[in-house]
Chain A
Amino acid sequence: MSRLLPYSVLALAALCAALLAGTAIGESDLAPNVVYQVLANHLWQAGYPVDPIDAGIVWNYRLTRTLVAAACGAGLATCGVILQALLRNPLAEPYLLGLSAGASTGAVLVGLLGLGSVALSMSGGAFIGALAAFTLVLVLARAAGPSNNNAQVILAGIAGSQLFTALTAFLITKSATAEQARGILFWLLGNLSGVRWPSVWLALPVALFGLVVCLWHRRALDAFTFGTDSAASLGIPVRRTQLLLISCAALVTAVMVSIVGAIGFVGLVIPHALRLLLGPGHSRLLPASALGGALFLITADILSRTLIPGQVIPVGVVTALIGAPVFALILVSRRGRP
């Protein structure tokens, strides 16, 4: 425990600093003391006189999207860690299971055809679509062969993704106007603009829940190091553990996708980078990846708001712009290793 304390303090400090940066930096120039006053007013009723528009920008716009960015980054990175561990595949990531493709189909269905548009938001449609795709992938993987064969899950995921991507494209070309298509494309690329407090209260607990469930199973995840048979002979109920943790990952990913769209590379790059730094032990890798994912996505969000003045780039574009070169670097640095 004594070794753990300094790291926890450091992690918390880094997270707070990033949250502050995300709240202080944005398209409109607000003085740091205005930001401080707004935060102070809300956190401990300091009672500073501030412009209600400034207060709204800081509290309802910047802080919420920064918190959701943190939760999404943490959640997606955690999912990446457990999928890579369980499927023993370095390319495993949260969207592998067809979740993002399913989510986009669901969102597009709601957005274009007005399917249940009264009861369902685009997010709700995305969530249902993601879970539908995941169920299909799971059924397909199960039907394709024994549970010990990880390749089945990955191949089923690819098939599911292709199917739902095609469905989305079909729907867009068949019924979308140019304006609608642009809006949907923007949403698909990952977009934090629309988030407000209700999204925060959904994303934060879900990310935390995912992290706690995975930490609880950290030894089981370690036991998969030498494959599923090895895990079973180390006393892990393989099928139950896989189903529980993969479903947990699917749920977390589906919630994140439904709030912000498909943000790529966080779930792939962050776990790999940290595994190189810290080694494969999950008791360290899981919290570190959650923190790394949160910091990465907060930074990407800040960049997405500031890179082009007056225009917000989809955050998924920024993560891919950083993520792709970083991933290439990791691949090159792994050269010469088995």
Chain B
Amino acid sequence: MTVMANLQIAPLACQGLGLQLGGRSVLRDIDLAAIQGETLAIVGPNGSGKSSLLKLLAGLRKPGSGRVDLLGEPLAQLPRRRIAQALALVEQQADTADAISVYDAVALGRTPWLSALAPFASQDRAIVEQALADLDALHLRTRLWHSLSGGERQRVHIARALAQRPQVLLLDEPTNHLDIQHQLSLLQQVQALSVTTLVALHDLNQALTCDRVAVLDQGHLVALGKPFDVLTPERLLSTFGVHAHYLTDPFDGARILRFRAP
């Protein structure tokens, strides 16, 4: 795996990434390289810097130190439009008061590919339809934004990100505020996508189902690797401050985490 990663250019990588906000160090010296096609979970307690890391990786904030490379090119020197053609971000809470339809909201994803004079072509329409289909949201297409439930909104946001046809997808706690059924189906849909995905997650059992896990602790990247190598009981105690045990589900033999307050 490491040989493969070294041979290929990482779709998204950062070196020595750091960020200070109001004199406080939010992120310190993060080195991270995503592997082509993987789903990488980013976990950590509240305030550990998950959202800030995603914002830096998306180029929405300037890092205090270090650099980000997107498809082998330094992010800081790429125009916004070029970044948006390769990378899409779904924020935690992006809302609007506008009466925009689901189809139009997803069609916004084509923005980086359209110029002022180019009309919205049949090819763009096909991509939007495909993105809606991928997220199982075709039936929502004429619904207005404010009539959608939280889970439906999240799916529309992700569909918009997919309509950008990115090679890298960044998701900030996409399962937040969703009921358990929608959490599971959304995560399944995301993992089925072929794009390289970095996803900030709160639920550690959900992180166990991803290809790799990165653990942030007070702005440091303290662990990175296969879920069961990384999310050890010792790690969970030192980073999250909880006792954890692995149980085996008699139904399918899957290992799951159970937590106890110390």
Contact = CB atoms under 8 A, between A and B. Distances in A.
A223 interface: yes
A227 B94 contact: yes
B179 interface: no
A164 B81 CA distance: 40
Contact of B80 (A217, A227, A235): A235
A329 interface: no
A337 B94 CA distance: 17
A280 B99 contact: yes
B231 to A, nearest CB: 29
Interface string B84-102: 1101110100111111110
B100 A338 contact: no
Contacts of A229: 55, 60, 89, 91, 94
Given A279-B99, A279-B101, A235 B94 contact: no
A232 B60 contact: yes
Interface string A204-225: 0000000000001111101101
A168 B134 CA distance: 60
A182 to B, nearest CB: 42
How large, as a class, is the contact surface on chain A? 20 to 34
B166 to A, nearest CB: 10
B183 interface: no
B100 A279 contact: yes
B96 A226 contact: yes
A325 to B, nearest CB: 22
A209 to B, nearest CB: 15
A196 interface: no
B56 to A, nearest CB: 13
Given A216-B116, A219-B111, A225 B79 contact: no
A237 to B, nearest CB: 5
Interface in B162-186: 164
B208 to A, nearest CB: 28
B108 interface: yes
B111 A275 contact: no
B229 interface: no
Contacts of A237: 79-81
Contacts of A279: 99-101, 104
Contacts of A217: 116
Interface in B103-144: 104-105, 108-109, 111-112, 114, 116
Nearest to B105: A225
Contact of A233 (B79, B88, B101, B116): B88
B146 interface: yes
Contacts of B109: 234
B207 interface: no
Nearest to A336: B146
Contacts of B80: 232, 235-238
Contacts of A225: 96, 98, 100, 105, 108
Nearest to A230: B94
A338 B97 CA distance: 6
Contacts of A275: 98-99
A147 to B, nearest CB: 12
Contacts, number: 81
A194 interface: no
Given A216-B116, A223-B108, A235 B83 contact: yes
Interface string B44-55: 000000000001
Nearest to A234: B111
A116 interface: no
Nearest to A218: B116
Nearest to B94: A226
B84 to A, nearest CB: 3
A90 B97 CA distance: 9
B206 to A, nearest CB: 23
A56 interface: no
A232 B55 CA distance: 11
A281 interface: yes
B214 interface: no
B58 interface: yes
A297 B108 CA distance: 33
A236 B112 CA distance: 8
Nearest to B163: A234
Contacts of A338: 97, 146
A219 B58 CA distance: 21
Contacts of B112: 234-235
Contacts of A223: 108, 111
A219 B107 CA distance: 11
B96 A222 contact: no
A279 B105 CA distance: 12
A41 to B, nearest CB: 41
A17 to B, nearest CB: 30
Given A225-B108, A234-B164, A280-B98, 10 more contacts: A222-B111, A229-B60, A233-B58, A233-B84, A234-B84, A234-B112, A235-B81, A235-B111, A280-B104, A338-B97
23 contacts: A90-B97, A216-B116, A219-B116, A220-B111, A225-B96, A225-B105, A225-B108, A226-B108, A226-B157, A227-B94, A227-B95, A227-B96, A233-B58, A233-B89, A234-B109, A234-B111, A235-B81, A235-B112, A236-B111, A237-B80, A275-B99, A279-B99, A337-B146
User: Which 6 pairs, one residue from A and one from B, show the smallest C-beta to C-beta distance?
Assistant: A235-B84, A235-B112, A280-B98, A235-B81, A226-B94, A233-B89
